[in-house]
Structure 1
Amino acid sequence: MRSLSICIFLILTLQVSAQQHFTDSLYKVKPRKTLNYAKKDKQDLYLDIYEPENSFKNRPVFIFMHGGGFGYGSPRNTDEVKLAKIAASYGYVAVQISYRLTRKDQSFGCDFDTEGKIGTFKLAAEDFLDAVNFMIQEKQQFDIDPEKIIIGGSSAGAEAVLSAAFNRDLLFKDAAKYENIKFQGILSLAGAIVDKCYIDEVNAVPTIFFHGTADNLVPYNTAPHHFCGKEEPGYLILDGSRSLANKLKELNTSYMLNTFPEAGHEISRIPFEFLPMVFQYFDDVFLNNQNQQIEHTF
């Protein structure tokens, strides 16, 4: 009788875990582990890894890139650490990455030329993809499933991860070295890319977008970066969240567009009040392949 009770308890526990363990804070989080994934331009680039205290195999991984205009910010910003710990408590292996801040103490505005801006996107996307490659190589150490990679970024970080997903063939002469990297989903906080025309049936990835319609740095729709004038060196047209959502809709790919009328670039902050909705979408769409095209206006 006692053995039967134990079996029933284990079955119920497994059922609860299967239903909830990526949408509820069920796990304690292990102390942060830091590993270097590359050395570039004399800089040690590192990953901060937050793991849940569970023994599941083939866990999903959530890799996030902080913002800061490619010139400042850190994976150890208070909000980034908080996000990683929340994700780990849900059962994800959560990763915050450092990358080359190539515009440190320099402008990324209208006085910085277009070619330089595109080069900045390229270097940041390269660092991001190298960090993802590193985690794939370490999949056994962290018990992660390389087919369950969810990525995210804020502002400059969002531009980098969206570029890594959708503009590889535009930015890299040889994108083949990253052909093993496939993403299950993207969280973009006030992000944009150089050209949405490079998104097709092969590389389309379900994406959650957060963006303010009055963002004066990264356009909500299709418009110049920083709204620079045509006569300025930094004039560069970008496709923002609205345009990218339209493209995914055309391709019958899942997306969630969260629009904030008249809001500015502050929507690039991590949306903690909306995280239950975000992680539910992660679970339903990114991990369980439901097709959902959703638009919210807040």
Structure 2
Amino acid sequence: MKNQILLFFIVLISNSMKAQEIKTMTYFQNDTIKLELDLYLPEKKSNEKIPLILFAFGGGFSGGERTNEKEFGIFMAKNGYAVASISYSLYMKGKDFGCGGILTEKIKAIQIGVSDMWQATSFLIENANKYNLDTSKFFISGISAGAEIGFHATFWDYKLMNLYKSNLPQNFKYAGFIGGSGAIQDINLITKENAIPMLLAHGNDDKTVPYGAGSHRSCPTNASGWLILFGSYAVYKHMNDLHKNIELITFCGGGHEFSGYLFHEGQQYVLDFVNALLKGKKFESHLIIPSGKKSASSGKYLFCE
């Protein structure tokens, strides 16, 4: 009986692993760097084109791995979406990305990461037919530094800020943005014309990336690495002023530890968000605020009723 139960679970695990395909490929290479991505593909059911979510990991542009959110890629693939988790240049590795760093270096780190994301996007557009991807339904996402890449890749001027050759289609636009504890350098980059639907999550006591408008790493204004950023709540208010769709999950009293929430415990939020957009469903911008109180049994933050 025990052997039968064991066999059952082996078959179950085996079947679940076959629910998607993971391909690793090089999307950019030159004399000094080689960048790869992991493409999570759903089990092919028809010739219908597959929506794609590009994902950038967190780590302060100095660390992290594209495999950190493997479970997110598998979850979305099982639900009919492709996910491309990219590696990008860790320009700040061995450097100070905090208050004692150099401002121009911090901005350059973001620009390099964004250029890498644009390069990955271009690569996947060029290979869309090979993997049956729908280039009109490319979403962008990320955690912390990866969310900063996502924000700026969406709203920076591609021709002005791209460090590589210009190879994205002229009218290309991401279908939506999913960001965990990210921020943008200039809130006015988001306009009525270029705004896209967003799903964001952030702790309102984040000392690393500001929840509203504030300095990166809470640095004082006289610090060499002082950098003003507009976090998720600032973006939320701005999007509301523009009458554009956005959902923000705020963790009351929470810090930067909630940066990965949407890609771990909150995966269903992401799935519901992209499903709603692709079905053409209109949703009202709203703020979801957990209570900030922890359950004695689980230690997790509880949601407001």
The counterpart of 1:284, out of the listed 257, 265, 276, is: 276
Matched, 1:48 2:38: yes
How do 1:1-298 residues align onto structure 2 when only pairs under 5 Å count? 28-40=18-30, 42-56=32-46, 57-77=48-68, 80-168=69-157, 172=161, 177-178=167-168, 179-271=170-262, 272-285=264-277, 287-298=279-290
Question: Relative to structure 1, is the Cα distance of residues 64 and 173 closer, same or farther in structure 2, using a 3 angstrom cutoff?
Answer: closer
Give how far 1:270 is off.
Answer: 3.7
Runs ≥4 residues deviating over 6 A: 173-176
Comparing both chains, which one has the higher relative contact order based on Cα–Cα distances under 8 Å and sequence gaps of 6 or more? Answer: 1
Separation in structure 2 between the aligned mates of residue 203 and residue 273 of structure 1, nearest angstrom: 30
Sequence identity of aligned pairs in percent? 31
Tell me the TM-score normalised to structure 1 length: 0.85
> What RMSD, in angstroms, separates the aligned Cα atoms of the two structures?
2.1
Letter in 1 for 2:38: D
Question: Relative to structure 1, is the Cα distance of residues 98 and 173 closer, same or farther in structure 2, using a 3 angstrom cutoff?
Answer: closer
Letter in 1 for 2:288: H
Count residues in correspondence.
271
Question: Relative to structure 1, is the Cα distance of residues 58 and 116 closer, same or farther in structure 2, using a 3 angstrom cutoff?
Answer: same
Tell me the TM-score normalised to structure 2 length: 0.83
Separation in structure 1 between the aligned mates of residue 159 and residue 230 of structure 2, nearest angstrom: 14
Separation in structure 2 between the aligned mates of residue 104 and residue 50 of structure 1, nearest angstrom: 27
For structure 1, list consecutive stretches of 5 or more residues without a partner in the other structure: 1-25
For structure 2, list consecutive stretches of 5 or more residues without a partner in the other structure: 1-15, 291-305
Question: Relative to structure 1, is the Cα distance of residues 128 and 169 closer, same or farther in structure 2, using a 3 angstrom cutoff?
Answer: closer
Greater helix percent: which structure? 1
Q: Deviations over 1:183-203 (max 9, x none)?
A: 111110000010010111221
Separation in structure 1 between the aligned mates of residue 74 and residue 54 of structure 2, nearest angstrom: 12
Give how far 1:27 is off.
Answer: 9.8
SS in 1 for 2:222: coil
Separation in structure 1 between the aligned mates of residue 236 and residue 95 of structure 2, nearest angstrom: 32
